[in-house]
Structure 1
């Protein structure tokens, strides 16, 4: 399958590292002009420089803005102008005793993981529908369906994101714009390495720590390993393409078989 995104502009939020960086790279390889987003100008410029080393000649635009705020969302949109593909990847996660999560922390998870995506969709969807083409992709998580006891606030936010995706897909019905969510399973990123070491012996080498984590805390995984960020990016690039024109309102799984269901 030849995916060609030349002439399209994509905004990938939270794309200075991890899954977001892999998505930005995948879209750039497909020919898209990609807005690489981070909160600080320094980190964003560094991420752009790394991506240019991996994808020489890519058209990358540094978008330094905290898109979890209204001001930052407007700055990101103003920086890029027309956006054809919006990937709402920004998110926070961490473990917490459910009875110790404060109201402030509940609100923070909703603000960053849900409302940031809603706000950018609200800003960019009208232009997409007016032009008759667009893609909105929300990066969700297996925790949206299989809520971990140690991450209830995170699971809540990702469940809400599935509802947001379905609702906006209905809003865009018949316009040529598709809206989908991608359910990412346990993925190997720097943040997840820290998370793994919160739950297993910190003295273990990484390969062994990963195996212990999957065996003890994610035994449902059929892949039996952490997913690499590039594997999430492959799905996102496909859903951003012309070839995915009939896929909308969906929650598509790249979870290594973690969610025990025969339905998406």
Structure 2
């Protein structure tokens, strides 16, 4: 079960810096159409589902919203309707179905891709803005106003291996016909890849050394005191 505290934290994350409003504008730019599910409710349900199930599948999000959150939260999010009771309002009927979640995910796919083409840069920027606003809500305000950061990087394997440029082509560009460059070959292969956003790189092995991998670089960044002013009293910096 989701506690009241967990629910309130999820609400804070989507509301504190306007993530819910930006996501609403992304999903319904014309402010028209029938809405069986609020984008804000979807965000909150997704965060809680990730926290409890490690999943954003629509059936898991539906289960969290309709069975795991407190009854008052179901009513507040429009997931259920309440009737009057001497002890206060109680859930009378759950009105959110799995079809509502499925249709909402179809709407998202439609907004993200046009006719099966690659996601437009403006669309990526809009979704990244929503994510950044959620992340910003997790960061406490630094009392000293420091703008220093500590950054670390780790390699994350993609679910499918990428296609390599043939060694003969990589080493001897003159083998290419019709003046096609190596870069153009790589771009063509990326278009045929099932994971075109991934790239080849190197990562540290568990036992030491390095190995080639295909995937992504995940960066972890935390704010830190400036090293040139007043860090002596901070844990780990003294």
TM-score greater than 0.5 by the shorter chain:
no
In terms of fraction of residues, the more helix-rich structure is 1
TM score, norm. by length of structure 2:
0.25
